[in-house]
Amino acid sequence: MKARVIFFVSGLLFAGFAFSQSLKPVWAIPPLLKVPESVYYRPKNHSIYVSNVNGKPAAKDGNGFISLLNKNGKILRLKWVVGLNAPKGMAVKGNHLFVSDIDRLAEINLNKGKIIRYIPFPGAKFLNDVVVGPDGRIYVTDTGLGAVFVLNNGKPSLWKQDALLKGANGLAVENGKLLIGANGHLLQGNPKTAKLHIIAKVTGGIDGLVPLGKGNYILSDWAGKIQLVSPGKTPVILSNTTAQKINAADLGFIPGKKILLIPTFFDNRVVAEQLMGF
Protein backbone atom coordinates (compact mmCIF):
# COMPACT_ATOMS: atom_id res chain seq x y z
CA MET A 1 0.00 0.00 0.00
CA LYS A 2 1.35 3.40 -0.94
CA ALA A 3 1.26 5.93 1.88
CA ARG A 4 2.00 9.63 1.84
CA VAL A 5 4.81 10.64 4.16
CA ILE A 6 5.08 14.27 5.24
CA PHE A 7 7.73 15.71 7.54
CA PHE A 8 8.24 19.20 8.93
CA VAL A 9 11.81 20.22 9.71
CA SER A 10 12.25 23.64 11.33
CA GLY A 11 9.26 24.97 9.44
CA LEU A 12 10.38 23.35 6.19
CA LEU A 13 8.04 20.93 4.42
CA PHE A 14 9.48 17.63 3.25
CA ALA A 15 7.00 15.57 1.25
CA GLY A 16 7.29 12.35 -0.68
CA PHE A 17 5.84 8.94 -1.37
CA ALA A 18 7.23 5.76 0.12
CA PHE A 19 6.38 2.17 0.93
CA SER A 20 8.16 0.81 4.01
CA GLN A 21 11.11 3.17 3.51
CA SER A 22 10.98 6.74 4.71
CA LEU A 23 13.03 9.63 6.07
CA LYS A 24 12.96 10.77 9.69
CA PRO A 25 14.08 14.32 10.60
CA VAL A 26 17.14 14.41 12.86
CA TRP A 27 18.40 18.00 12.77
CA ALA A 28 18.58 21.04 10.54
CA ILE A 29 21.00 23.94 10.89
CA PRO A 30 19.86 27.57 10.52
CA PRO A 31 20.20 29.18 7.07
CA LEU A 32 23.68 30.54 7.77
CA LEU A 33 25.51 28.79 4.95
CA LYS A 34 26.10 30.38 1.55
CA VAL A 35 24.86 28.12 -1.25
CA PRO A 36 26.03 24.79 0.22
CA GLU A 37 26.65 22.31 -2.61
CA SER A 38 28.26 19.24 -1.07
CA VAL A 39 28.53 17.57 2.34
CA TYR A 40 31.25 15.14 3.41
CA TYR A 41 31.22 13.17 6.66
CA ARG A 42 34.60 11.96 7.97
CA PRO A 43 34.20 9.03 10.39
CA LYS A 44 37.72 9.38 11.78
CA ASN A 45 36.91 12.56 13.71
CA HIS A 46 33.10 12.61 13.27
CA SER A 47 33.36 15.92 11.43
CA ILE A 48 31.17 17.24 8.65
CA TYR A 49 32.61 19.42 5.90
CA VAL A 50 30.37 21.60 3.73
CA SER A 51 31.40 23.31 0.50
CA ASN A 52 29.85 26.75 0.04
CA VAL A 53 29.68 28.22 -3.46
CA ASN A 54 28.82 31.66 -2.06
CA GLY A 55 28.00 33.09 -5.47
CA LYS A 56 27.39 31.71 -8.95
CA PRO A 57 28.35 28.04 -9.54
CA ALA A 58 30.87 28.89 -12.28
CA ALA A 59 32.16 32.23 -11.02
CA LYS A 60 35.88 32.58 -10.27
CA ASP A 61 35.32 35.17 -7.57
CA GLY A 62 37.31 33.84 -4.61
CA ASN A 63 34.19 33.89 -2.41
CA GLY A 64 33.85 30.15 -1.89
CA PHE A 65 34.63 28.50 1.44
CA ILE A 66 34.40 25.29 3.46
CA SER A 67 32.40 25.07 6.70
CA LEU A 68 33.16 22.71 9.59
CA LEU A 69 30.31 21.10 11.55
CA ASN A 70 30.15 18.43 14.21
CA LYS A 71 28.08 15.27 13.76
CA ASN A 72 25.09 16.88 15.48
CA GLY A 73 24.94 19.77 13.04
CA LYS A 74 26.57 22.42 15.20
CA ILE A 75 28.58 24.89 13.14
CA LEU A 76 32.09 24.86 14.61
CA ARG A 77 33.56 27.25 12.05
CA LEU A 78 31.44 28.79 9.33
CA LYS A 79 34.44 29.82 7.26
CA TRP A 80 36.95 27.13 8.12
CA VAL A 81 38.82 27.37 4.79
CA VAL A 82 38.39 30.41 2.53
CA GLY A 83 39.66 31.67 -0.81
CA LEU A 84 38.00 29.14 -3.11
CA ASN A 85 35.94 30.08 -6.14
CA ALA A 86 32.87 27.82 -6.33
CA PRO A 87 33.75 24.64 -4.38
CA LYS A 88 31.62 21.56 -4.90
CA GLY A 89 32.45 17.85 -4.44
CA MET A 90 34.87 16.66 -1.74
CA ALA A 91 36.84 13.54 -0.84
CA VAL A 92 39.40 12.69 1.83
CA LYS A 93 42.62 10.80 1.19
CA GLY A 94 44.92 10.38 4.15
CA ASN A 95 44.95 13.70 5.96
CA HIS A 96 44.05 15.76 2.92
CA LEU A 97 40.69 17.03 1.73
CA PHE A 98 40.35 17.37 -2.05
CA VAL A 99 37.72 19.84 -3.27
CA SER A 100 36.65 20.52 -6.86
CA ASP A 101 36.77 24.20 -7.77
CA ILE A 102 35.47 24.72 -11.34
CA ASP A 103 38.61 23.75 -13.27
CA ARG A 104 40.98 22.74 -10.48
CA LEU A 105 41.21 20.73 -7.30
CA ALA A 106 42.08 22.35 -4.00
CA GLU A 107 44.14 20.18 -1.65
CA ILE A 108 43.56 21.05 2.01
CA ASN A 109 45.53 19.92 5.07
CA LEU A 110 42.84 18.70 7.49
CA ASN A 111 44.92 19.27 10.62
CA LYS A 112 45.76 22.86 9.77
CA GLY A 113 42.67 23.81 7.79
CA LYS A 114 44.91 25.31 5.13
CA ILE A 115 45.01 25.03 1.36
CA ILE A 116 48.27 23.32 0.41
CA ARG A 117 47.96 23.81 -3.32
CA TYR A 118 45.66 24.07 -6.30
CA ILE A 119 45.88 21.45 -9.02
CA PRO A 120 44.68 22.77 -12.41
CA PHE A 121 42.87 20.38 -14.75
CA PRO A 122 43.64 21.42 -18.36
CA GLY A 123 40.54 21.19 -20.56
CA ALA A 124 38.09 21.00 -17.67
CA LYS A 125 34.84 22.96 -17.94
CA PHE A 126 32.82 22.31 -14.77
CA LEU A 127 34.39 19.93 -12.27
CA ASN A 128 31.83 18.60 -9.84
CA ASP A 129 31.94 15.53 -7.59
CA VAL A 130 35.11 13.89 -6.23
CA VAL A 131 35.86 10.40 -4.94
CA VAL A 132 38.90 8.36 -4.00
CA GLY A 133 38.76 5.30 -6.21
CA PRO A 134 39.40 1.71 -5.15
CA ASP A 135 42.85 2.06 -6.74
CA GLY A 136 43.71 5.08 -4.59
CA ARG A 137 43.47 7.50 -7.48
CA ILE A 138 41.18 10.50 -7.25
CA TYR A 139 38.31 10.73 -9.73
CA VAL A 140 36.43 13.92 -10.61
CA THR A 141 33.35 14.34 -12.79
CA ASP A 142 33.11 17.17 -15.30
CA THR A 143 29.44 17.98 -15.78
CA GLY A 144 30.05 20.48 -18.56
CA LEU A 145 32.35 18.21 -20.53
CA GLY A 146 30.45 14.97 -19.96
CA ALA A 147 33.56 13.27 -18.68
CA VAL A 148 35.50 11.93 -15.73
CA PHE A 149 39.05 13.02 -14.90
CA VAL A 150 41.54 11.14 -12.75
CA LEU A 151 44.35 12.45 -10.56
CA ASN A 152 47.27 10.06 -10.25
CA ASN A 153 50.38 11.02 -8.27
CA GLY A 154 49.41 14.67 -8.52
CA LYS A 155 48.93 14.58 -12.30
CA PRO A 156 45.44 15.00 -13.81
CA SER A 157 44.32 13.30 -17.00
CA LEU A 158 41.10 12.47 -18.79
CA TRP A 159 39.82 9.07 -17.65
CA LYS A 160 36.73 8.84 -19.86
CA GLN A 161 34.58 11.00 -22.10
CA ASP A 162 31.49 9.34 -23.47
CA ALA A 163 27.90 10.04 -24.51
CA LEU A 164 26.78 8.04 -21.47
CA LEU A 165 28.55 10.60 -19.27
CA LYS A 166 26.44 13.55 -20.37
CA GLY A 167 25.79 15.63 -17.28
CA ALA A 168 28.14 13.45 -15.20
CA ASN A 169 27.91 14.51 -11.57
CA GLY A 170 27.59 12.22 -8.53
CA LEU A 171 30.40 9.78 -7.71
CA ALA A 172 30.82 6.87 -5.31
CA VAL A 173 32.70 3.60 -4.98
CA GLU A 174 31.17 0.16 -4.54
CA ASN A 175 32.77 -3.30 -4.73
CA GLY A 176 35.91 -2.06 -6.44
CA LYS A 177 34.02 -0.14 -9.12
CA LEU A 178 33.11 3.48 -9.70
CA LEU A 179 29.50 4.61 -9.54
CA ILE A 180 28.73 7.61 -11.70
CA GLY A 181 25.49 9.58 -11.81
CA ALA A 182 24.68 11.07 -15.20
CA ASN A 183 21.64 12.44 -16.98
CA GLY A 184 19.02 9.71 -17.05
CA HIS A 185 21.00 6.84 -15.60
CA LEU A 186 23.30 5.46 -12.94
CA LEU A 187 26.52 4.00 -14.33
CA GLN A 188 29.12 1.57 -13.13
CA GLY A 189 32.69 2.11 -14.34
CA ASN A 190 35.71 -0.15 -14.26
CA PRO A 191 38.69 1.88 -12.98
CA LYS A 192 41.17 -0.25 -14.94
CA THR A 193 39.47 -0.43 -18.31
CA ALA A 194 37.19 2.66 -18.15
CA LYS A 195 34.37 0.47 -19.44
CA LEU A 196 30.90 1.74 -18.54
CA HIS A 197 27.53 0.08 -18.21
CA ILE A 198 24.13 1.27 -17.04
CA ILE A 199 22.94 0.00 -13.65
CA ALA A 200 19.62 1.80 -13.54
CA LYS A 201 17.68 4.40 -15.49
CA VAL A 202 16.20 7.44 -13.76
CA THR A 203 14.51 10.69 -14.68
CA GLY A 204 16.72 13.77 -14.55
CA GLY A 205 20.27 14.07 -13.31
CA ILE A 206 22.04 12.54 -10.33
CA ASP A 207 23.76 14.93 -7.92
CA GLY A 208 24.01 13.03 -4.64
CA LEU A 209 24.82 9.32 -4.78
CA VAL A 210 24.91 6.96 -1.79
CA PRO A 211 25.26 3.18 -2.26
CA LEU A 212 23.52 1.25 0.53
CA GLY A 213 24.54 -2.24 -0.57
CA LYS A 214 22.43 -5.14 -1.87
CA GLY A 215 21.67 -3.21 -5.04
CA ASN A 216 20.10 -0.20 -3.31
CA TYR A 217 21.10 3.40 -4.02
CA ILE A 218 19.97 6.75 -2.67
CA LEU A 219 20.02 9.48 -5.32
CA SER A 220 19.30 13.19 -5.26
CA ASP A 221 18.64 15.24 -8.38
CA TRP A 222 19.59 18.77 -7.13
CA ALA A 223 16.12 20.15 -7.87
CA GLY A 224 14.85 18.60 -4.63
CA LYS A 225 13.98 14.95 -5.20
CA ILE A 226 15.57 12.16 -3.14
CA GLN A 227 14.78 8.61 -4.21
CA LEU A 228 15.65 5.01 -3.54
CA VAL A 229 16.71 3.25 -6.73
CA SER A 230 17.21 -0.49 -7.16
CA PRO A 231 17.90 -2.08 -10.56
CA GLY A 232 14.77 -3.68 -11.99
CA LYS A 233 12.46 -2.03 -9.47
CA THR A 234 10.33 1.10 -9.55
CA PRO A 235 12.15 4.02 -7.86
CA VAL A 236 10.73 5.05 -4.48
CA ILE A 237 10.56 8.78 -3.90
CA LEU A 238 11.52 9.44 -0.27
CA SER A 239 11.14 13.22 -0.42
CA ASN A 240 10.58 15.91 -3.02
CA THR A 241 10.89 19.60 -2.25
CA THR A 242 11.08 20.74 -5.87
CA ALA A 243 7.77 22.58 -5.64
CA GLN A 244 9.03 24.45 -2.58
CA LYS A 245 12.19 25.39 -4.56
CA ILE A 246 14.37 23.71 -1.94
CA ASN A 247 17.26 21.85 -3.49
CA ALA A 248 18.87 18.54 -2.59
CA ALA A 249 22.44 18.73 -3.84
CA ASP A 250 25.46 16.44 -3.24
CA LEU A 251 24.52 14.20 -0.30
CA GLY A 252 26.69 13.30 2.65
CA PHE A 253 26.08 10.13 4.66
CA ILE A 254 26.72 8.89 8.21
CA PRO A 255 26.68 5.12 7.60
CA GLY A 256 26.52 3.89 11.21
CA LYS A 257 23.25 5.72 11.81
CA LYS A 258 22.06 5.75 8.19
CA ILE A 259 21.72 9.51 8.21
CA LEU A 260 21.58 11.49 4.98
CA LEU A 261 23.14 14.94 5.06
CA ILE A 262 21.33 17.12 2.55
CA PRO A 263 22.78 20.47 1.37
CA THR A 264 19.87 22.66 0.30
CA PHE A 265 21.90 24.97 -1.98
CA PHE A 266 19.95 28.23 -2.36
CA ASP A 267 18.08 27.45 0.89
CA ASN A 268 21.47 27.81 2.67
CA ARG A 269 21.20 24.91 5.11
CA VAL A 270 22.15 21.30 5.76
CA VAL A 271 19.33 19.00 6.82
CA ALA A 272 19.93 15.59 8.41
CA GLU A 273 17.39 12.83 7.71
CA GLN A 274 17.60 9.25 8.95
CA LEU A 275 16.75 6.42 6.59
CA MET A 276 14.03 4.28 8.11
CA GLY A 277 13.06 0.78 7.04
CA PHE A 278 16.46 -0.12 5.52
φ, ψ for residue 165 (rounded to 5)? -95, 15
Among the listed residues 113, 103, 3, the one whose alpha carbon sits nearest the alpha carbon of residue 49: 113
pLDDT in tens, the chain (278 residues): 333 333 333 333 333 333 468 999 999 999 999 999 999 999 999 999 999 999 999 999 999 999 999 999 999 999 999 999 999 999 999 999 999 999 999 999 999 999 999 999 999 999 999 999 999 999 999 999 999 999 999 999 999 999 999 999 999 999 999 999 999 999 999 999 999 999 999 999 999 999 999 999 999 999 999 999 999 999 999 999 999 999 999 999 999 999 999 999 999 999 999 999 98
Per-residue model confidence (pLDDT) at position 278:
84
Q: What are phi and psi of 149, to 5 degrees?
A: -100, 165
Predicted confidence at residue 1, as pLDDT, reads 36
pTM for this prediction: 0.92
Domains recognised in the chain with CATH numbers: 3-276 (2.120.10.30)
Per-residue model confidence (pLDDT) at position 20: 64
Asked if 27 and 7 count as a contact pair (C-beta separation under 8 A), the reply is no
**CA dihedral sign, ordered 101, 123, 201, 57:** positive
Alpha-carbon gap, residue 243 to 240, rounded angstroms: 8
